Structure 1
Amino acid sequence: MTTTEPSRSKFVRGFIAVTAAVFVICGPFESYSDSAHAQTAPPAFPVTVATPLAKRIKTWDEYSGRFEAVARVELRPRVSGFIEQVNFKEGSDVKEGDLLFTLDKRPFEIAVESAKADIARAKAQVEFAQADVTRAAPLAESKVLSEQVFEQRKSSLGVAEAAVMSAKAELKSAELNLEWSEVRAPISGRISDKKIDVGNLVVGGQVNSTLLATIVSIDPIHFVFDAAESDYLRYERLSISGGRMSSRSAANPVRIKLADETEWTHEGKMDFVDNAFNERSGTMRGRAIIDNKDGLLSPGLFARLALYGGDVDALLIPDTAIVSDQARKIVYTVNADNVITATTVTPGTMYEGLRVITAGLKPSDRVVIEGVANPAVRPGAKVAPAIGSIKAPDKTAEKQ
């Protein structure tokens, strides 16, 4: 025991000395840990934030649809006969009254001449009957001729005069058939290809008359689309409250964008809303009318339509501030502690170069408008926000 105690004492004194030396050199362990943490903490990244731009705007609801001709005519002959000439270029624009098809006129010309001959014969009978009545009148007064015979002669004159009227009606019918042997364009528009060639016999004036071609009007042109029940109810409630007149009674404005266009180039107005919902789709059919003087728009062409939906108070932000997160659309906002927060939003249409946010943002939210592309700017990150502002681009017209 006496030999062991000095050894332990020496060991303890040596351990204490070494510990003290480490404490002197490195300092307390807690202070060292705090210093290391302070050196490794990431700096706050600079971003630019701004509150959404609050503005009363015109809203536009978008729909898909297609163009339809205002008028569509199937060309069918009114009389039967052989096609003698085709007087148009297939697929070309025609004007009302243009000669399109010519039937063999000879049978109709003969019918006209025959009707004229019938008129001449009837007039001759009228002249004879008139002379007979003139001769019989004094004889009837002197009682030489019986009153019955005199009435018969006057009756013959009336029959002859009626025969003239009938012959004139036949002449008009024959002349009309001769006129119908030339098939002319009933409307101005664009004609299809011919459905029958020269030399064929066509049947006219019946339910199943021969189809010769079709013509569709081009200017103006209709655009037809379907609106959901929710949109219809919203429009009707706005009309009742006075916020927006119904398209049944007002020509609300529309804009149209074709498949190869980025802006709403074509303008028109509503001119029809259907009287009932489609039982299968549960939608209401609407129709707009658009000028088409250059003939660019064609029946059957698909496009997008924006319909005026009323004035509302909206929040606007730059489109670049919106980030896609799988199926969600989010914007980065900065809270009171300058920490990034992901806020889910519902984007609407574009207005004057800015995106309308229909849900998810408050007017007081600080939205990150610059620095969103920085990988370090993510939810939970500390940032150094600089105050900016959201302004609409320098444009005089609204774009969507």
Structure 2
Amino acid sequence: MFPTSRRSVPAPAIFRRLLLATALAAGLATLAGCAPGQAEEAAPPPPEVGVMEVAPREVSQWDEVSGRIEAVESVELRPRVSGYIERVHYTEGQLVEKGEVLFTIDARSYRAALARAEAELVRARTQAELGRSEAARAQTLVDLQAISREEFEQRSAAAAQATANVQAAQAAVEAARLDLEFTQVRAPVSGRAGRALVTAGNLVSADNGAVLTTVVSVNPVHVHFDTDEATFLRYAAMARRGERPSERDGRVPVQVGLVGEEGFPHVGEIDFLDNRVDPATGTIRVRAVLDNADGRLTPGLFARVRVLGSGRFQALLIDDKAVLTDQDRKYVYVVDAEGTAQRRDVRLGRIVDGQRIVEAGLAPGDRVIVSGVQKVFFPGMPVQPVPLATDEAPAVARVD
């Protein structure tokens, strides 16, 4: 008996192969026996997508810029006379009224100077009275030819000089009185006083003009910001067309928000536009005035400023979540009459009230897919549109 060259296969392995072949044959027979209608019923239904119908809406565009809050009046208090600081009368950081005494300078030498000037005034008035009487007697005597014309003219000149001395003495008294008054340093404006930079006992001089403190007004306040040339020219064109108030016709409204605030709760008006564009930066300085009765707007704060940038016009708005990007192009999906998703390339504008302006690519009545757009895999895909109410659309932050 010679050995065979073939390897023997165990019986269990043969049985398993036979069972697998039988199962495959049965599956193919089952699929072949299915009707076309039954295969279609096994396909999944079209996915649901949230749509919003595009409708024209009257809107206004606003431009957003950055600015700074500034005080309307800001004064550095400096001494007008020299001397030692005798007393500081205010609490640093408190509100002060116009005319309130903030510092007192030692006034003893200035009182003495005023008393001396007043004494000189009395003496000058006495000399002037004597000169007038002598001039009157000289007039009588010259009429009687009792004195010479030369002597008469000398007495008349002496009387005139005595009168002039009275005026000089009076001016000296006024100057001394002013110096004495300047020893009390008063607040020139109402507002908030800063830190006392010179305290009691220090010598101050009117010559070097050392700053004693600063006082800034608190209500109203200004907000300063810059705008570029293109925006400035657009505003000017709008004013010529009557879509925006000009500086002569009325003030342009602005809205201001601080860091950490939502939206723009503070409302004001532009009250100043600079007379030239800075050639170094290509911008022009603009100023607005804001009410600050509650004192929340502190000078120096960063401000987000929103300026009215257009008149009222009709625009098509969509939610920003509906916008997709294909390299450098923006597009959305709309649901047509057959219930399929179709791609539309769009040209977008600014955001108004949380929605994006569509300048081209859509028409009124188009149903734009807002939610579930990730379920659309290709243009022409069947979808099941579900209308969304306006308040159901997610809020979008304003980004220009």
Q: TM-score range by the shorter chain?
A: 0.7 to 0.9
Q: How much has 1:375 moved relative to structure 2?
A: 5.2
**Within 2, Cα distance between the matches of 1:262 and 1:320?**
21
Contact 2:49–2:373 (Cα < 8 Å) also in 1: no
1:77 is paired with a residue of what secondary structure?
coil
Number of the residue aligned with 1:187: 189
Q: How much has 1:250 moved relative to structure 2?
A: 2.9
CA deviation string 1:119-143 (max 9, x = no partner): 1111111122223223333322211
Instruction: List gaps (5 residues or longer) in structure 1.
Output: 1-21, 394-400
Cα–Cα, structure 1 residues 222 and 342, in superposed 2: closer, same or farther, change >3 Å?
A: farther
**Within 1, Cα distance between the matches of 2:137 and 2:303?**
83
Number of the residue aligned with 2:97: 95
1:47 is paired with a residue of what secondary structure?
strand
Contact 1:250–1:270 (Cα < 8 Å) also in 2: no
**Within 1, Cα distance between the matches of 2:97 and 2:77?**
14
**Within 1, Cα distance between the matches of 2:383 and 2:161?**
110
Q: Is the deviation greater in 71-80 or in 240-249?
A: 240-249
**Within 1, Cα distance between the matches of 2:329 and 2:191?**
48
Determine whether 1:221 maps to 2:221.
yes
Determine whether 1:26 maps to 2:26.
no
Number of the residue aligned with 1:47: 49
**Within 2, Cα distance between the matches of 1:273 and 1:155?**
60
Q: Is the deviation greater in 60-69 or in 380-389?
A: 380-389
Number of the residue aligned with 1:77: 79
1:79 is paired with a residue of what secondary structure?
coil
**Within 2, Cα distance between the matches of 1:302 and 1:90?**
24
Contact 2:191–2:215 (Cα < 8 Å) also in 1: yes
**Within 1, Cα distance between the matches of 2:105 and 2:327?**
67
After TM superposition, list the pairs within 5 Å mapping 1:162-311 onto structure 2. 162-204=164-206, 206=207, 208-247=208-247, 250-309=250-309, 310-311=311-312
Number of the residue aligned with 1:147: 149
Contact 2:77–2:212 (Cα < 8 Å) also in 1: yes
The amino acid that maps onto 1:132 is E
Determine whether 1:333 maps to 2:344.
no
The amino acid that maps onto 1:317 is I
Number of the residue aligned with 1:367: 368
TM-score, normalising length: structure 1: 0.81
CA deviation string 1:205-241 (max 9, x = no partner): x4x4111111122111111112122212221222223
CA deviation string 1:122-181 (max 9, x = no partner): 111112222322333332221111121111111111111111110000000000111111
Q: How much has 1:117 moved relative to structure 2?
A: 0.4
The amino acid that maps onto 2:130 is F
Q: How much has 1:111 moved relative to structure 2?
A: 0.8
CA deviation string 1:241-285 (max 9, x = no partner): 332233565301111122222132111111112222223322222
Q: How much has 1:378 moved relative to structure 2?
A: 5.3
**Within 2, Cα distance between the matches of 1:326 and 1:218?**
51
**Within 2, Cα distance between the matches of 1:379 and 1:93?**
67
C-alpha RMSD of matched pairs (Å): 3.2
Cα–Cα, structure 1 residues 211 and 378, in superposed 2: closer, same or farther, change >3 Å?
A: farther
Instruction: List gaps (5 residues or longer) in structure 2.
Output: 1-24, 394-400
Q: How much has 1:377 moved relative to structure 2?
A: 4.8
Contact 2:49–2:372 (Cα < 8 Å) also in 1: no
Q: How many residues align?
A: 365
Q: How much has 1:337 moved relative to structure 2?
A: 4.2
Q: Is the deviation greater in 373-382 or in 260-269?
A: 373-382
Cα–Cα, structure 1 residues 190 and 325, in superposed 2: closer, same or farther, change >3 Å?
A: farther
**Within 2, Cα distance between the matches of 1:221 and 1:45?**
56
Q: Is the deviation greater in 170-179 or in 186-195?
A: 186-195
The amino acid that maps onto 2:296 is L
Number of the residue aligned with 2:348: 346
**Within 1, Cα distance between the matches of 2:200 and 2:279?**
46
TM-score, normalising length: structure 2: 0.81
Number of the residue aligned with 1:317: 318
Number of the residue aligned with 1:64: 66
The amino acid that maps onto 1:363 is A
